[in-house]
Amino acid sequence: MDLTRRRLLGSAGAGAAALGLFAAGFSNGTAWASPRFPGDPFRLGVASGDPTPDGIVLWTRLAPDPLALDGRGGMPERRVAVQWQIASDERFSRVARQGTTHAVPELGHSVHVEADGLEPGRDYFYRFRAGGDLSPVGRARTAPDARTRRGDVSFAFASCQCWYEGFYTAYRHMAAEDLDFVVHLGDYLYEYGVGATAGVRGMELDASFQRETLTLADYRNRHALTRLDADLQAAHQAFPWILTWDDHEVENNWAGDIAQLDNDGLPDDTVDGFRARKAAAFQAYYEHLPLRLPQRPNGADVRMYRRLPFGGLLDLHVLDTRSYRDDQVCGDGTKPGCDTERRDPARTMLGAEQERWLLDGTARSGARWNVLANQTLIAQVDQNPDPAVLSSGLDMWDGYTAARDRLLTGLHESGAGNPVVLTGDIHRSVVADLKLDFDDESSPVVATEFAGTSISSGKDGAAMDQVGRNWLTTGVNPHLRWHNSQRGYTVLRLTDRDLRADYRVVPYVTTPGAPVETAGSFVVEAGRPGALPA
């Protein structure tokens, strides 16, 4: 386990782009030559992300005091040299790449190493060293070669992990799965105060954790609080993650440069005020997750949508349904009516540029499966069991019906290969047929939507609740195939022949240690959109 300077620097930086001092243009003061930290600087763990056939992003953040009230993690205002290694074995006897980067105070002493020169479709192990401290060892898997069609790809997707409403037991079970990667669809943290006892966690925290997050220090500390969870760290150590955000990483139901509420006394009541809040939230998000340099924010602007290929089998299209959308109509919420406003053809969910990028990319894709990592439910859902009343969730695609029509029509007319949508946000699991016309049962099915439940948000769930009964009332939403409102995650296994989705759930999250079981399994056959029970 010895990491001598000579061994580390023998091929320092070769074939790798490390986000450090010179690459990003940050502080140019003298580096801390022999750092001695007041505690373990790797308390927030390690992570990898956005795999390519020849590379991976490696992440950590130096934070010996992760919840320090100033948001600096117990670190001084100095840059620190951090050594990194990638090996083909867990004992690091066969080192594949290694180098040194710098953790700088301007980015909360986070580290993002974009390592390349690796072999496609294989496991690697990685670790960091700062001063005399060695990080935990993480495992990462590169993507299969883009020129080949690998036999199968397996991954899990998850969303909505409210720290104070439940334990992350599902992540401990996820870490034991055999997966190539994990997709996180948003709500990695929640901006609300955690409560006097930190909810079900039974902890007393500083008063700064009892208020809504607004400043960079607030967001940093809320991320750090989330990342201290051992089960979440285990899932990050086990697989590379591919992430995008939804709303709570900033504020509930934000839309573009528009805050959820105006004139509520918070400093984001103006566009400039909200952009300042977004800039703080975006920076903290980047500082705590394994994202590449193109996803580093420039103030309140960042491009999160991107495309990752996995051989010829899968193209993963990662969406951002928050940054470019129009404001919700009719005051947001769930309500009947608003048909004229919802159907306005000028309204957008993705923004014109992202919409073109998505439809052009799926049309040109040569992959067997085109999977969209999406945030809010695309399927039409009448929330009212009375057939005479159409009640819509205006934050979902139901509030942007013309944009949904453009998306589904575009996928259908372009002949995009086997489109499948993954969705988070709703704290319940739903399997749905996505149709050209949801009001016409004979209309063709364009794609299948697998909406996944929360990891912990909403506390303990149940196999069925009143919302589910309303949604599945006979004749109200005939395109909805299945529903469950327990907590957990979903595992997808793709082959050239079919895609299988297993909904893995835990019976409770308000106390730790829950077992896991499969609540439902579904198969989509290549060339035949629509899910069938497995």
- pLDDT of 498: 97
State the average pLDDT over residues 200-226: 97
Is the pLDDT at 317 greater than 80? The verdict is yes
Q: What are 119-160's pLDDT values in tens digits?
A: 999 999 999 999 999 999 999 999 999 777 668 999 999 999
- The arithmetic mean of pLDDT across residues 27-31, rounded, is 66
Q: What is the pLDDT of residue 6?
A: 26
- From 27-36, 300-309, 416-425, 471-480, the region with the lowest mean pLDDT: 27-36
Q: What is the pLDDT of residue 301?
A: 97
Percent share of the chain, pLDDT over 90: 89
Give me the amino acid identity at 397: W
- Assess whether pLDDT exceeds 80 at residue 265: no
| Stretch 209-231: mean pLDDT | 97
Band (23; pLDDT cuts 50, 70, 90): very low
Contact between residue 251 and residue 93 where contact means Cβ atoms under 8 Å apart: no
What value does the mean pLDDT of the chain take?
93
Instruction: Tell me how crowded residue 184 is: count the other CB atoms within 10 A of its CB.
Output: 26
Lowest mean pLDDT among 5-19, 256-270, 293-307, 453-467: 5-19
Mean pLDDT of 255-265: 85
- pLDDT of 268 reads 87
Residue 185, pLDDT > 90, answer yes
- What integer is the mean pLDDT of 174-196? 97
pLDDT of 12 > 50? The answer is no
Q: Return d(Cα 99, Cα 116) in angstroms, integer.
A: 12
Residue-wise pLDDT for 505-529, tens only, equals 999 999 999 999 999 999 999 999 9
- Mean pLDDT confidence for 411-433: 97
Q: Compute the residue count for the chain.
A: 534
- pLDDT for 9 equals 27
Residue identified by tokens 């079970």 is 173
Radius of gyration of the chain (CA): 23
Whole-number Å distance between alpha carbons of 47 and 33: 25
Any residues with CB less than 8 A from the CB of 301 and at least 6 apart, and which? none
Cα–Cα distances (Å) from 451 to 18, 96, 207, 277, 491, in that order, read 35, 38, 36, 29, 12
Burial class (CB in 10 A: 0-12, 13-18, 19+), 95: middle
Distance CA 310, CA 183 (A): 13
| Region 344-373 average pLDDT | 97
What percent of the chain shows pLDDT beyond 70? 93
**What SS3 state is found at 338?**
coil
122: CB partners within 8 A, 6+ apart: 88, 141, 142
Mean pLDDT of 206-223: 97
Tell me if 236 sits within 8 A of 45, measured CB to CB: yes
Range from 12-16, 46-50, 138-142 carrying the lowest mean pLDDT:
12-16
State the Cα–Cα distance between residues 454 and 302, nearest whole angstrom.
26
Which domains does the chain carry?
1-142 (2.60.40.380), 143-533 (3.60.21.70)
Instruction: Determine contact, residues 18/258, Cβ cutoff 8 Å.
Output: no
Determine the average pLDDT of the residues in 362-390.
Answer: 95
Least confident stretch, 15-29, 81-95, 483-497:
15-29
> What's the pLDDT score for residue 150?
64
* pLDDT surpasses 80 at 13: no
